[in-house]
Amino acid sequence: MSWGIIGGTGLNQIPGLQLLAREVVSTPWGEPSAPLVRGCLEGREVVFLARHGEPHRIPPHRVNYRANLWAMQSAGVTRIVAVNAVGGIDAAMPPGHFCVPDDLIDYTWGRDMTYFADDLEAVTHIDFTQPYTSSVRKALLDALQAVNVAYSATGVYAATQGPRLETAAEVRRLRKDGCHIVGMTGMPEAALARELNLQYACLALVVNAAAGMDEAPISMAAIETVMAAGMDQVREILGWVVSA
Ligand code: HPA
């Protein structure tokens, strides 16, 4: 039962991760975003992958999600925490707030979103009623409680196409649809994890109020400040999760 961590924007590497090996992996689906980093966190071996590459260079719609998850599984990973920076739609989720979503809506398009497309023996439809694995969500919630940060234990993640941010009207629609947070990388990652039978959940850090939710325009400088502070907490939360 090896833990894998997929780091998003702001988490290209994990501070304090004791490096054991860097593994360049190739897969039938192409190259993953970066070499896998095998390391030791709180005395436990984990496999880390930078979703956007190291250095950060691959935009959300160009990430090879199929190769990334395939590589993690071939490295022996069975359960994954995906870290995602998001915009907050719900007023109760301001910048700096964490959310462990329990559901999602996929608004992305044109991405390679399944392993079950070609050369099939049978057409396969995975059950995706609950897109996140409850045991991994529980591990995250226990860690959030221990670290004592503000968080929401449920929420609906809207996965948008990017790389641009949303319009105010788009965010109003997401809110009407029942979404609480919005990001660009939650899908197809979660569905591909399910197709591979990987246990998977998302730790979302709100880094800005979603478009139109705040009078001030979205500022990259403000996002970076929130992200820098939040990532120290992410590191602590991950430490709790893998050592529990
Ligand atoms: N929208 C989409 N993705 C994001 C946002 C946002 O406001 N903030 C961080 N990732």
pLDDT score of 209: 97
CA 158 to ligand 1 center in whole angstroms? 10
CA 123 to ligand 1 center in whole angstroms? 34
pLDDT score of 188: 98
pTM: 0.96
Atom of ligand 1 nearest to the CA of 208: 8
pLDDT score of 133: 98
Distance between CA atoms of residues 6 and 155, nearest Å: 20
pLDDT score of 147: 95
State which residues of the chain have pLDDT below 50. none
* CA nearest neighbour of 178 among 161, 156, 160: 156
Ligand 1 pocket, 69 CB below 6 A? no
Q: How far is CA 43 from CA 18, 39, 59, in A?
A: 9, 9, 33
Q: Amino acid identity, residue 27? A: T
CA 65 to ligand 1 center in whole angstroms? 18
Give the pLDDT confidence of 199-232 residue by residue, as tens digits: 999 999 999 999 999 888 899 999 999 999 998 9
pLDDT score of 160: 98
Chain-centre distance of CA 78, in angstroms? 16
